[in-house]
């Protein structure tokens, strides 16, 4: 039986999905409903395609999870660091902009909290370890540029990052509990920069 012209047009009009489309859908499912939601059939339905499209791009669900985590690492860490480096030459202003932006963004975006909750999965744990090291390392770099010795810069970078994670956890566990006042982040920055 041949395909009708309407079916053929619909098939041709449908966008060919990429591995990134699948990874983005997997990341969205993970954030919305946890790691168990990253399943081929529901994602295929969500994307309006078949399981065959998945198998064209990925050998396994674990490969899809790894790709989704790589997308998160790129968008939530590497892209932000590149933007900071390109946009602001002053390390103090860069640190302040980074802390302000991250603290505001995390209140509306549950990715960090949801990924931390899935940290018992080996792929997620590895991604969290890489991201933690990269973020703390970048913060430490900024503190070094501000004249702090390397061990002290590392300690302050770690303090800044744990402050951010605590803020994220509290913002999602007890909405409204974290200060919405922009001066709050300024106080955190001032304490981290105090000599």
Is the separation of the CB atoms in 15 and 24 below 8 Å? Answer: no
Cβ-based neighbour number of residue 50 at 10 Å: 13
Query: Does residue 37 surpass a pLDDT of 70?
Result: yes
Q: Is there a single domain that holds both residue 126 and residue 170?
A: yes
Q: How many residues does the chain have?
A: 195
Who contacts 23 (Cβ-Cβ below 8 Å, separation ≥6)?
A: 64, 67, 68, 70, 71
Quick one: tokens of 72? Answer: 């998160």
Within 34-110, residue ranges assigned H as helices are 40-47, 51-57, 61-73, 79-87, 91-108
Long-range contacts of 134-137 (CB under 8 A, 24+ apart): 134/73, 134/77, 134/78, 134/81, 135/77, 135/161, 136/161
Q: Is residue 42 part of a domain?
A: yes
64 and 100 together in one domain: no
Position with higher pLDDT, 171 vs 69: 69
| Same domain assignment for residues 174 and 98 | yes
Q: Are residues 94 and 29 in the same domain?
A: no
Give the pLDDT score at 14.
57
Q: Is residue 125 part of a domain?
A: yes
**pLDDT reported for residue 93:** 92
Query: Is 181 inside a domain boundary?
Result: yes
Quick: pLDDT tens for 142-179: 999 999 999 999 999 999 999 999 988 988 889 888 87
Whether 94 has a pLDDT exceeding 80, the answer reads yes
59 & 95 share domain: no
Q: Please give the tally of structural domains in the chain.
A: 2
Pairwise CA distance, residues 194 & 102, whole Å: 21
pTM of the model: 0.85
Same domain, 60 and 107: no
Query: Domain of 123?
Result: 89-195
Q: Are residues 94 and 163 in the same domain?
A: yes
Whether 105 and 189 map to the same domain: the answer is: yes
Q: Are residues 95 and 64 in the same domain?
A: no
Examine residue 80 and state whether it is found in any structural domain, yes or no: no
* Residue 117 belongs to some domain of the structure: yes
**Is residue 119 predicted with pLDDT exceeding 60?**
yes
What secondary structure does DSSP assign to 53-75, as a single string?
HHHHH-SSHHHHHHHHHHHHHII
84 domain residue, yes or no: no
């Amino acid at each position: 039986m041949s395909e009708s012209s309407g079916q053929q047009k619909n098939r041709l009009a449908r966008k060919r999905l990429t591995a990134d489309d699948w990874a983005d859908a997997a990341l969205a499912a993970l954030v919305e409903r946890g790691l168990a939601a990253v399943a081929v059939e529901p994602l295929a339905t969500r994307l309006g395609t078949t399981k065959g499209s998945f198998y064209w791009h990925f050998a396994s669900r674990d490969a899809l999870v790894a790709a989704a985590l790589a997308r998160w690492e790129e968008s939530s860490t590497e892209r932000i660091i590149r933007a900071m480096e390109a946009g602001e030459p002053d390390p103090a202003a860069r640190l302040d902009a980074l802390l302000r932006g991250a603290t505001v963004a995390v209140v509306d975006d549950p990715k960090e909290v949801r990924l931390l909750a899935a940290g018992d999965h080996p792929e997620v744990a590895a991604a969290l370890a890489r991201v933690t090291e990269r973020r703390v390392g970048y913060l430490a770099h900024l503190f070094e540029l501000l004249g702090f010795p390397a061990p002290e810069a590392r300690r302050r970078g770690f303090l800044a990052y744990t402050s951010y994670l605590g803020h994220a956890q509290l913002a999602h566990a007890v909405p409204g509990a974290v200060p919405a006042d922009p001066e709050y982040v300024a106080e955190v920055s001032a304490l981290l920069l105090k000599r």
